[in-house]
Amino acid sequence: MSMKILVTGAAGFIGAALCERLLQEGMQVVGLDNLNPYYPLALKRHRLARLETLASQCAGECGDGRRPGSFRFVPLDLVEREALLALMKDEGFEVVVNLAAQAGVRHSISQPFDYVDSNLVGFVNLLEACRAARPSHLLYASSSSVYGDDAAQPLQEAQVGERPLSLYAATKRANELMAYSYSHLYGMPVTGLRFFTVYGARGRPDMAPLRFARKLLAGEVIDVYNRGQMARDFTHVSDIVEGIFRLMPLPPAQVSSAAPSRVLNLGRGEPIALGDFINGLEAALCITARRRLLPMQPGDVERTWADTSALQALTGFRPVVSLATGLEELAEWARHYPSLLSETQDEREHEASEAARG
Ligand code: NAD
């Protein structure tokens, strides 16, 4: 069945991977992104170029009467309220997947207003546009960071506390509360997805997996926070995409007066110590790492571990990509595109300040 879908953040890591999957499924996809310079634009353009190529292949291949998939890119910022509203009203999307956001925990400490603009103002603009255009389902990215560091593990959806450790986490929790209120007021079907540390080919250069790959390939020292004891529920991007895809046609139902709103964990369900993740990447790249063990960073949590039983009960799906398989795929891509692993502004500043401290 072909659907018309809006994916925001389509030039981003998860957004582009989702658009690829939707195209392969024959969907009519409109991808929106403001192409912000948080990390190098070359990577965002690389992802969009792949999507354009795939779209032309999909259009050519489908000669069997099925409607071929299509992709159209719209350069737009969620803060542009009127333009967003006009797009949503004109297009009449059946499903909206909001992956656009200012991401990154550490950057939210140095650049708080980027988060206020995209994650708060932009998110309300999207909710307002959905109120007017009425898609059958709005799915949006939340984050495992909403749990803070005092919830029992594995993390269950209902255990969320109100002690976010960074502004990034606070904006993601705020998104869940805002989405609930719109769902309650207007009967809007909404699903929030708490993603757990996503990795894979064409990933984010500000996150540990790509940073580690870049440093290994360049023979540089890897900074390992919390002396490698920090654990993350690393989840391969194809599992994240599969989870979103399965949930798209399953909007929460309005049962009596309850709002048609839910929030779900989307993670592998298996915490992996940072040290073990690096061991796996060393094996995939066949390079031995030089490590510098460091203390915890402000705003970071010690461990994340998703309880995925709610997702599984709803969709029958649980993430399946093993760490070894996921790292092979990441390593293969990283070897071919070393220039796209390049560092972010934040990282350069951090390294400069570390170097200045000696
Ligand atoms: P990403 O930075 O690669 O993608 C986000 C995209 O959104 C970028 O291309 C950016 O240009 C765009 N964008 C930002 N602000 C925008 C705005 N105001 N208007 C239009 N476009 C805008 O990040 P990602 O890793 O693909 O993350 C996607 C979503 O998932 C984000 O909401 C992020 O917070 C969330 N998330 C990601 C992870 C992860 O591990 N990658 C974990 C938890 C949650």
Residue 344's pLDDT is 63
- What is the per-residue pLDDT across 158-206, written as a single tens digit (0 to 9) for each? 999 789 989 999 999 999 999 999 999 999 999 999 999 999 999 999 9
Predicted local confidence at residue 58, as pLDDT: 78
pLDDT at residue number 51 = 97
Q: What is the pTM of this model?
A: 0.95
Domain for residue 25, yes or no?
yes
- Binding pocket residue ranges, ligand 1, CB within 6 Å: 8-9, 11-15, 33-36, 44, 77-79, 99-103, 118, 122, 141, 143, 195, 197-198, 204
Question: 250 in a domain, yes or no?
Answer: yes
10 Å CB burial of residue 140 (0-12, 13-18, 19+) is buried
pLDDT level of residue 60 (50, 70, 90 thresholds)? low
Q: How many angstroms separate the alpha carbon of residue 9 from the centre of ligand 1? A: 6
For a mutational test of ligand 1's pocket, the pick from 18, 34, 199, 210, i.e. the residue with the most ligand atoms closer than 8 A to its C-beta, is 34
What CATH code is carried by the domain that includes residue 145?
A: 3.40.50.720
Name, in order, each residue with C-beta under 8 angstroms of 159's C-beta and a sequence gap of 6 or more: 147, 151, 152
Mean pLDDT (the chain) is: 92
Distance from residue 40's CA to the centre of ligand 1 (Å): 14
- State the virtual CA torsion across 199, 75, 2, 179 in degrees, nearest 10: 70
> Atom 1 of ligand 1 has which residue's CA nearest to it?
12
329 within some domain? no
Closest residue CA from atom 25 of ligand 1: 13
| pLDDT of amino acid 66 | 61
pLDDT band, residue 105 (cuts 50/70/90): confident
Ligand 1 atom 35, closest CA: 141
**Helical pair 41-61 and 13-24, crossing angle rounded to 10 deg:** 0
Phi/psi of residue 193, nearest 5 degrees: -120, 115
Of the candidates 166, 116, 140, 117, the residue with the CA atom closest to the CA atom of residue 6: 140
Backbone region of residue 200 per phi and psi (left: phi > 0; alpha: psi in -120 to 50; beta: other values): left
CA of 104 to the centre of ligand 1 (A): 9
Domain count, the chain: 1
pLDDT band of 297, cuts 50, 70, 90 = confident
Q: In the structure, what pLDDT confidence band is assigned to residue 357 with cuts at 50, 70 and 90?
A: very low
Amino acid at 180: Y
What pLDDT shows up at residue 353? 46
Which string of DSSP letters, residue by residue, matches 266-328? ES-S--EEHHHHHHHHHHHHT-PPEEEE--PPTT--SB--B--HHHHHHHS------HHHHHH
Report the pLDDT averaged over residues 274-294.
Answer: 96
Under the banding of pLDDT at 50, 70 and 90, the label for residue 302 is confident
Question: Which of 124-133, 165-174, 221-230, 298-307 has the weakest average pLDDT?
Answer: 298-307
CA of 35 to the centre of ligand 1 (A): 10
In terms of C-beta density within 10 A (0-12 exposed, 13-18 middle, 19 or more buried), how is residue 91 classed?
middle
The encoded tokens of residue 290 equal 């030089």
Query: Could you tell me the residue range of the domain that residue 19 belongs to?
Result: 4-196+237-268+305-320
User: Which residues are CB-neighbours of 279 under 8 A, at least 6 positions away?
Assistant: none
For residue 235, give the nearest of 270, 276, 268 by alpha carbon.
268
Choice among 2-11, 77-86, 335-344 with the minimum mean pLDDT: 335-344
166 CA to middle of ligand 1, Å? Answer: 16
Mean pLDDT of 28-53: 97
Determine the pLDDT at residue 348: 53
Region 92-117 average pLDDT: 94
| Smallest CA separation from ligand 1 atom 41, residue | 198
pLDDT band with cut points at 50, 70 and 90 for residue 346: low
**Digit-coded pLDDT (tens) for 137-154:** 999 999 999 999 888 999
Q: Is residue 168 among the annotated active site residues? A: yes
From 138, 142, 195, 206, give the residue whose CB has the most ligand 1 atoms within 8 Å, as the site to mutate: 195
Options 115, 147, 168, 182, the catalytic residue: 168
Whether 38 is in a domain gets the answer yes
Distance 254 CA to ligand 1 centre (A): 29
Confidence of residue 62 (pLDDT cuts 50, 70, 90): low
The string of pLDDT tens digits covering residues 312-336 is: 999 999 999 999 999 999 999 999 9
pLDDT at 349 over 80: no
Tell me whether residue 326 is in a domain.
no
**DSSP per-residue codes, 87-150:** HHHHH--SEEEE--S---TTHHHH-HHHHIIIIIIHHHHHHHHHHHH--SEEEEEEEGGGGTT-
pLDDT computed for residue 44 by the predictor:
98
* 145 lies in some domain: yes
How far apart, in whole angstroms, are the C-alpha atoms of residue 273 and residue 291? 14
Sequence letter at residue 156: Q
Could you tell me if residue 191 is inside a domain?
A: yes
**Residue nearest atom 34 of ligand 1, based on CA coordinates:** 103
Three-state secondary-structure class, residue 72: strand
Query: Is 10 part of any domain?
Result: yes
| Atom number, ligand 1, closest to the C-alpha of residue 100 | 7
pLDDT by residue (tens digit) across 254-266?
888 789 999 999 9
